[in-house]
Amino acid sequence: MQDKQPFSLQSFILIRRRSPYKYIRTLLIISLLVFWAACKTPAPVQSARLNNAAPLPATYHSTDQSAAAARENPADTAATATIPWETFFKDTGLKKLIRQGLDYNYDLSLAINRISIAEQRLKQAKNLQLPTLGISATGSSTRFSDNGLTGQSMTGAATHHYEDYTLQGQLSWEADIWGKIKNQQKYELQQLLSTREAAQAVRTRLIADIATGYYNLLILEKQYQVASSSLILADSTLQLTELLKFAGKANQLSVQQTSAQRQTVALLLPDLEDQISNQQNALLALTGAMPGTIGDHSDLDEVSLPGNIVAGPPADLLSNRPDVLQAEWQLKMAISKIAVAKANLYPSLRITATGGVESLKASNWFNLPASLFGIVAGSIAQPIFQQGALKKDYHIAQLEKENAVIAFRSTLLQAVGEVSNALTHYQKLRTQAEMALKQVDTLQSGEQNAALLYKSGLANYLEVISAQNNTLQASLNLAAIHGHQLMAAVEIYRSLGGGRQLQEK
């Protein structure tokens, strides 16, 4: 039996020299395995929280019977959200303020400018599919030192100086194999649409804020009228009390109490004047104007409530309410971002072509075709050591999509709740208005009877003061309820997404 030779480094080298192809094949297999591992897409992130979505109801939860009847017969009238604001609001003064706000409000102007920025970014994204082209011209003049390494090696040469002139163009194009550029363009388009809906949300909010402020101004002015009329009545009662004291039918205490009641009413006027001035300034600020006074406008009693309010099914919010649409577009943006992050995991193919003219003498620069040169190259790049970071970007994009889903559902839930609350509030205010009107009629009648009995000596001053005070408070409350009804109608209109059409500028 032949003894085995001991293994040595020299024998290992000899073996490797005898089988170089086997070594190359091993390196190739390892490279392919590394390449395949780098291209492998990580598993998508799954979350159980996204499975707990509340279903969208068929109708709004509201005690408003008229709204419920309108929902049962939607063909009877148009949905409130689809009515233009010029038709929904009847008051001429209010329409004028809304037009000024839509033209000059700074927040809306900023939102519209953001749309222009998003449009430019979309144009930039569309250019990503186009090849990049660059043109460059270079010229150089070099003289080598006689004592330098290069100069010494050129001993005996005709010259130690040379010039080089080049004019070239370079074309580079990346093939969109995995849809990265396509999804980037889709992302920018969705960003534009989301920005438009954000501007729509600003617009609907602006219309609602102007209408609410206008109706609040009418409430304050109506309460000022009521307080002024009550002050006149208090003056008459004070004069009557002084006459009765002079005739010996009343005492000084009755005069003091009647005067205190008159002062209580008078104190309301400067406070209401202050609130009226502040509300006018706030309205003018919404229209982009300096503080001042509002022009001619209607009284509260002249403004009528809108007709039949048709809320429609909650599913209509998906197409009418701008903040819901904005959240939907942001969700689609998150999905496109996932596609881009996924495409970054795969190799990219880039083709480049360079061509031009080159010459060692400027006089021969354009000596064609001798000066022409050209290079065409293609490259496939696959990041290896950056795979960890790219995979994390992919996971982050999936988590951002999960956040977008949650945000969309939250926005939709909030929208349905706002409409339901607005419908209930509107109906309850209508019931309160009917009761408040009856209360004012009853108290005004009692006030008149108390005044007649006081003149006849059959009632004391406390009864008159109490009757006047009750009537004043009830009248102020009635004015507030009437104005709040108008505000509640505005809130229904806004929460349904009314007035969302963006005007072209």
Of 333, 366, 381, the last residue of a domain is 381
Beta bridge partners of 358: 166
- Show the domain range for 168: 135-145+159-175+348-381
Rounded CA-CA distance 175/129 in Å is: 8
Whether 444 and 323 share a structural domain? yes
Question: CATH code at 490?
Answer: 1.20.1600.10
Whether 139 and 271 share a structural domain? no
Question: b/e map of 334-347 (b: 16 or more CB within 10 Å)?
Answer: bbbbbbbbbbbbbe
Q: Which residues contact 266 (CB under 8 A, 6 or more apart)?
A: 231, 234
Whether 66 and 105 share a structural domain? yes
The pLDDT score that the predictor gives to residue 266 is 93
The pLDDT score that the predictor gives to residue 428 is 94
pTM across the whole model: 0.81
Rounded CA-CA distance 441/454 in Å is: 20
Task: Report whether 56 contacts 412 (CB < 8 A).
Answer: yes
Does a structural domain hold residue 124?
yes
Does a structural domain hold residue 429?
yes
Rounded CA-CA distance 487/418 in Å is: 14
Whether 258 and 286 share a structural domain? yes
Count of structural domains within the chain: 2
Whether 171 and 184 share a structural domain? no
Whether 217 and 365 share a structural domain? no
Whether 442 and 376 share a structural domain? no
Whether 209 and 221 share a structural domain? yes
Whether 168 and 182 share a structural domain? no
Q: In what order do the strands lie in the sheet with 161-175?
A: 132-143, 161-175, 348-359, 372-381
Does a structural domain hold residue 25?
no
The pLDDT score that the predictor gives to residue 273 is 96
Whether 109 and 140 share a structural domain? no
Per-residue pLDDT of the chain (505 residues; tens, 9 = 90+): 444 445 444 444 444 444 455 545 554 555 554 455 445 555 555 554 556 667 888 888 865 544 444 444 444 446 888 899 999 999 999 999 999 999 999 999 999 999 999 999 888 888 887 788 888 888 887 776 666 666 556 555 556 677 787 888 888 888 888 888 888 899 999 999 999 999 999 999 999 999 999 999 999 999 999 999 999 998 988 888 888 888 887 888 888 888 888 999 999 999 999 999 999 999 999 999 999 999 888 899 999 888 788 888 999 999 999 999 999 999 999 999 999 998 888 888 888 888 888 877 777 777 778 778 888 887 777 777 677 888 898 999 999 999 999 999 999 999 999 999 999 999 999 999 999 999 999 999 998 898 888 888 778 878 888 888 999 999 999 999 999 999 999 999 999 998 876 544 3
Whether 409 and 486 share a structural domain? yes
Query: Tokens standing for 232?
Result: 């006149």
Of 381, 404, 432, the last residue of a domain is 381
The pLDDT score that the predictor gives to residue 22 is 53
Q: Please state, in angstroms and as integers, the Cα–Cα distance from residue 317 to each residue in 59, 403, 453, 495, 500, following that order.
A: 12, 21, 59, 9, 12
Cα 406–chain centre separation: 17
Question: CATH code at 163?
Answer: 2.20.200.10
R_g (Cα) of the chain, nearest Å: 41
Q: Is 67 left (phi over 0), alpha (psi -120 to 50) or beta?
A: alpha
Phi, psi of 156 (to 5 degrees): 90, -10
Does a structural domain hold residue 39?
no
Q: Please state, in angstroms and as integers, the Cα–Cα distance from residue 152 to each residue in 85, 386, 401, following that order.
A: 89, 46, 67
The pLDDT score that the predictor gives to residue 71 is 47
Query: Tokens standing for 315?
Result: 């599913």
Does a structural domain hold residue 151?
no
Does a structural domain hold residue 489?
yes
The pLDDT score that the predictor gives to residue 209 is 96
Does a structural domain hold residue 30?
no
Whether 375 and 405 share a structural domain? no
DSSP H or E segment with residue 113: helix 106-126
Does a structural domain hold residue 47?
no
